[in-house]
Structure 1
Amino acid sequence: MPQLSLHSPLGDLTLSEEDGAILALDWGWGRDQTETPLLCQARDWLDQWFDAPTTLGEFPVPLTPFGTPYQKRVWDALRTIPVGTTVTYAELAAQCGGSAQSIGQAVGRNPIPIIIPCHRVVARHGLGGYSGWGGVEDKAWLLALEGAIPAREA
């Protein structure tokens, strides 16, 4: 499986490709580095996104995250949350079915964070959790970058 890593403000990230689509985005530097056209396009989009997330359109590369049908439904819903906005776990549960807890579990298993913006889902009273290396601090930083929360809260 081809992989390509990039440096980001959150640390090193690695994109993985399979069958012409992005399968995963992981924290850390990947062992193998392959510059396929798809991975280069995805890397370049992420580089631009970290510079100005509100100026880019949707991610231009196909995604094929591995998960259950319910998880995929939740991840599809995450992609509809506009940049700079948040929804609560309960609001997403009303949209997708299930409970706030099942939404939290699906969000926590998102294999393509940032691109599938799980950081935009928050608890009713606070940010909630985040499974990135930096935890909730990374979530706050991402939300501040998008303008969803003031930078001083991040």
Structure 2
Amino acid sequence: MLRARDIVRRDALTGGEIVDRVVLDHGDRHRRRVAMRGVGGLAFLLDLPTATVLEDGDALVLEDGRLVWVEAAPERLLEIRAASEHALRRLIWHIGNRHIPAEIAADAVFIAQDHVLVEMVRGLGGSAEPVTRPFRPEGGAYAGGHGHHHGHGHD
């Protein structure tokens, strides 16, 4: 089976033949080794040296040099907002205290749907509305650059 053993991060992608794409939700973008099938039907084995978070816009490098585009799938999320910047920071602190994945935007926070957190957010004066969009949560302080791996050394 054709293998993908490397990743080119979206900010380092400068060219190459993109032959297919995989559309993956947040959970499916954290992988090391799994059989995959692209939207166009290309079957391959993702075979990375370590478990890695695949980011929206990355490319998987097939052993023949061709690329498979990684796309974040739309997911059902909560969009959390607050009346002020200070109130939003307070909500972020409470959400962070729950140790759940969160995507922090300039004026909102996105988390997976959770009825308990909806009540908490609203109880603290914020809003929590369902949305469907790709989920790109923060990697965390110990994520090591989201599993940075693209085949070159660093000085």
TM-score of the two chains, using structure 2 as the length reference? 0.29
Bigger RCO of structures 1 and 2 (CA < 8 A, at least 6 apart):
2
TM-score of the two chains, using structure 1 as the length reference? 0.30
Structure with the higher fraction of residues in helix conformation: 1
Structure with the higher fraction of residues in strand conformation: 2
